[in-house]
Structures are given as structure tokens and as C-alpha cells.
Structure 1
Amino acid sequence: MIQYIRSILFILQMYVMFVVIGLGYAPYALVSREGARAGCKAFSRWVFWTMNWMVGIKAEVRGEVPEGEVLIAAKHQSFLDIMMIFTALPAAKFIMKRDILWTPIIGLYARRLDCVAVERGKRGAAIAKMVADVEAGRANPGQLIIYSQGTRVAPGAKVPYKVGTGVLYEQLGQPCVPVATNVGVMWPRKGILRKPGVAVVEFLPVIEPGMERDIFLAHIADTVEARSDALMREGGFDPDGVH
């Protein structure tokens, strides 16, 4: 019960500070892409600090964090891994649902960060346009993040990896860095309770361009799932026990 109350208080103050920091950085974000990035990182760091002493979750980033133009193929378990990956990278931008562009505050920052908005059922068209923009030099350089399973996945759940990641890897000709995580053990995709523990996002060894699409997809699925399972066990959750 005490942890549940702490979780409620943590969530309430997080949303209050989301508005405060989001509006506070908005003028800077409107005139500068770096301003938008600074606002997002300021909010994320506030969340990391408060979740540590309020609900006992410590954020930890492992592996070699890429700095150049790469494709990030990440596992997605909750809002926490979004903040951790974004804060770790120097120039992150996400492939995201188009609906988010119309969300107050978030939409402004997503647009300023050059996130790629994808309509439901039209992912192929969005990927094709993004590839064309990159090749024409119109897109700002950075680390492009795609959630390869297309949605948040609860710890232990099995969801297939979508072909979009393979198409991007193949057509962009950029290195790909897979990312594993266990954050869903402490910060679930649904519900209020936040559990104490070490929430980890781990950047795995880079995959150079040139691998065949099907082999690449199988490789990242095997690599990310195996490492994420190991991180979840480290966090006290047995992914093999979920049916």
C-alpha cells in the first residue's frame, strides 16, 4: 500500500512538471531545435531523479552509445525507455504514431525534433517518404529510433518484429544499433504501481550495413529478445514464466 501511494504521488508530480517544463521551454523550442531537445532532456532528468527517491527506480544506461547517423532498433516496454533512450543519445528522433502530433505540448516537441509521423495502416508509405527525405539531404542528421515490434510489449509477452525495421536498414544503408531493456518490470505499460529496481536500457553491438533483410530481422529479434530476457531476470522477473 505504501508503494502504491508513493507511485500515485510520483505520477501526479510528474504530470505537473511535464506541463511546467514543457511550457517553460516552449519559446526556446519554437526558435531552436536544440531548445526542444533541451526541454525534453530536462523533463526526463527530472523524472529520473524523482523516481529514484520517490519509488525506488534507478535508471541505468549500458553499452556504447552511438553518436553518428544510425538506426536504433529498440525494444519498447513503457514510457520510461523512451526517456532513457532519448536522453542518452545526442540527436534522437522517433518514428511515432501521427496522432501524437496533435497532442498538447508533446506534438510541438515532436515536430521540432523532426520525428517521423506514421499513420496507422500506412507505415510503408511513411517509410518510403522518410527514406527519400534522407537521401535528398532534407532530413536533419541524427539517430533514428524505431520500435521494431511496433508497440509497447509487456515483460514476457511475445510479439513479432515488423518488417519496417528491415526496410529502413536495407534502404538507408546505415549501421543499426539494437537496444534491449527491462524497464517494464519496474514501470509497466499500464497501471499505476511502480516497483523498486534498476531499470536498464542497453545499447548492443552495432550491425553494419549489408546484411540481407530477413537475416537482419532474425538477428535483431534474437539478440534483443535474449538480452532483454536476461535484463528482466536481473530485475527479478522470469520472462519464461509468462504464458
Structure 2
Amino acid sequence: MRWVMSFLFVVQMYGMMAIMGIVFLPWALISKQGARAACKTYCRWVRFTARWMVGLRTEVRGPIPRDEVLIAAKHQSFLDIILIFGAIPAGKFIMKRELMWAPVIGQYALRIGCVPVARGKRGQAIAKMLSDVDRGAADPGQLIIYPQGTRIAPGVKAPYKVGTALLYEQTGQPCVPAATNVGLFWPRKGIYRKSGLAVVEFLPRIEPGLGRDAFLARLQNEVETASNALMKEAGFDAQT
């Protein structure tokens, strides 16, 4: 029965994405605020239906950043995107370039100021990312990056990439680390959704001025430690 409800939840979630994309389109074309309103409305809908249909409650902890900062977040599934974007006033993501051509998601992501980055050639990708961020510097908001570069399943270790440290240096903005346990309930792949409490937690900010290596080491330690604590709270011990 839970698999059936999970399937129905996923179907309606993507169906509503298309419906909201169409309904909000005229406003989104006129104003970025319209595109942002569409995305935030969708985030609220997903959280509501996740609780109602599959018993998945969601919570955002910690001081929510509202000024211009770099948010470096643990990425386990689509749900942490929903929770982070829904909580902050003007989020924009560093996203993989392939998403530009995804129906609805790609068009709205570009409209709210997300920065597409091509995977593959590391040096060129980083240079392009920094250049694009510079060009978008006049558009205020919270820039969100996933330091590991992709969704990482709970308990799996993956390195933190240098691009986050370069952005931290270049923008001169504080970095707000963000931890999560959402992958325990909403996996990176598949349909099945578990009941429970999925959490994203904003951690104390890292102020500008650290060297590249020191920043990356601190970021990794704080995000991984906090994420492991959230997962352990939910009954999963990442250390075993």
C-alpha cells in the first residue's frame, strides 16, 4: 500500500509541476518575482502532499539566511532542494547544464537566476561558473551550491570539490553550510517514500577570510557531522 501511495504521490507531484508552470507562466514572463512565486508555491504543495499522502513530515532548522550569502548544502534528493528554496527569500542554484532543457524546471530555474554549469572538463566548468556568477552579481539573493556536485546517498562518502571554495573566495560573502537527512525518506532514485521527519538544518555561517583549504576542510567537517547527527536522530548511523 505504501508503494502505491508513493507512486501516486510522485505522479501528482510532477503533474502539479506542469500545471503550476502553465498557470504562473504569464506572471513569470513579466517578472522574476512571478517565477519565484511559482517555485515557492510548488515547494509548499510538495511538502503538504508528502505529509498527507505518504506520512513524510518536513522541517527546516537553524537561522534562515535572508541576506546575500553562499549556501553550501548536503544534497541527498530532490526534497532538500524543495526545503532550502522554500525557506529562503531569493534562492538561485548552481545547477548542471542538462537541466536547462528539462520541461518547466529548466525554464523556471533560468528565470530565477540559476547558474548552469557543464560537467566534464573541470577547469573549464569552474571558470564558466565563476564568470556566470560574476555576471549575475547584480541580482541579489542566496546562491546555493552542492559541494559534492551531485546527490549522495546516506552513508556514502564523496569528496567536497574545490568549486565551492573558489566561489567563497570570489564572492567575499559568508558561507552558510546546510545539513540534511532527507535521503533516508526520499531516495536519490526510485519511487518509494518512507514516513518520518525529513530535516534540512542551516548551520552557523563561515565568515569570509579563510584560506581555500581551511575553508573546505571546515565546511566538510561541519556539514558531514551535522548530517550524520540528523540521520542518527532518524535511526540511521552513518558511522557503521
- TM-score interval, normalised by the smaller of the two chains: over 0.9
Aligned to 1:37: 36
1:28 matched to 2:30: no
Aligned to 1:110: 109
Aligned-partner residue type, residue 64 of structure 1: P
Aligned-partner residue type, residue 65 of structure 2: P
TM-score by length of 2: 0.96
Once the two structures are superposed, the pairs formed by residues 184-203 of structure 1 within 5 Å of their partners are 184-203=183-202
Aligned to 1:208: 207
Give the conservation status (yes or no) of the 8 Å contact 2:93–2:115.
Answer: yes
RMSD: 1.1
Q: From 120, 128, 134, give the equivalent of 1:126.
A: 128
Give the conservation status (yes or no) of the 8 Å contact 1:73–1:146.
Answer: yes
Structure 1 residue matching 2:66: 3-state secondary structure: coil
Structure 1 residue 231 displacement after superposition: 0.3
The C-alpha deviation readout for 1:36-74, integer Å capped at 9, x for no partner, is 000011111111001101101111000000111100000
Q: Which runs of 5 or more structure 1 residues have no equivalent in the other structure?
A: none
Q: Separation in 1 of the partners of 2:224 and 2:37? A: 31
The C-alpha deviation readout for 1:121-170, integer Å capped at 9, x for no partner, is 33212233034325xx5x30100000000000000000000000000001
Aligned-partner residue type, residue 132 of structure 1: D
Q: Separation in 2 of the partners of 1:169 and 1:128? A: 10
Q: Separation in 1 of the partners of 2:119 and 2:111? A: 22
Structure 1 residue matching 2:45: 3-state secondary structure: helix
Percent of counterpart pairs with the same letter? 60
Aligned-partner residue type, residue 36 of structure 1: A
Give the conservation status (yes or no) of the 8 Å contact 2:145–2:164.
Answer: yes
Aligned to 1:174: 173
Give the conservation status (yes or no) of the 8 Å contact 2:116–2:129.
Answer: no
Once the two structures are superposed, the pairs formed by residues 86-165 of structure 1 within 5 Å of their partners are 86-121=85-120, 122-133=124-135, 137=137, 139-165=138-164
Q: Separation in 2 of the partners of 1:132 and 1:143? A: 14
Give the conservation status (yes or no) of the 8 Å contact 2:115–2:133.
Answer: no
Q: Which runs of 5 or more structure 2 residues have no equivalent in the other structure?
A: none
Q: Separation in 2 of the partners of 1:41 and 1:131? A: 23
Alignment length, in residue pairs?
237
Aligned-partner residue type, residue 91 of structure 1: A
Aligned to 2:78: 79
TM-score by length of 1: 0.95
Regions of 4+ moved over 4 Å: none
1:6 matched to 2:5: yes
Structure 1 residue 15 displacement after superposition: 1.3
Give the conservation status (yes or no) of the 8 Å contact 1:123–1:164.
Answer: no
Give the conservation status (yes or no) of the 8 Å contact 1:176–1:209.
Answer: yes
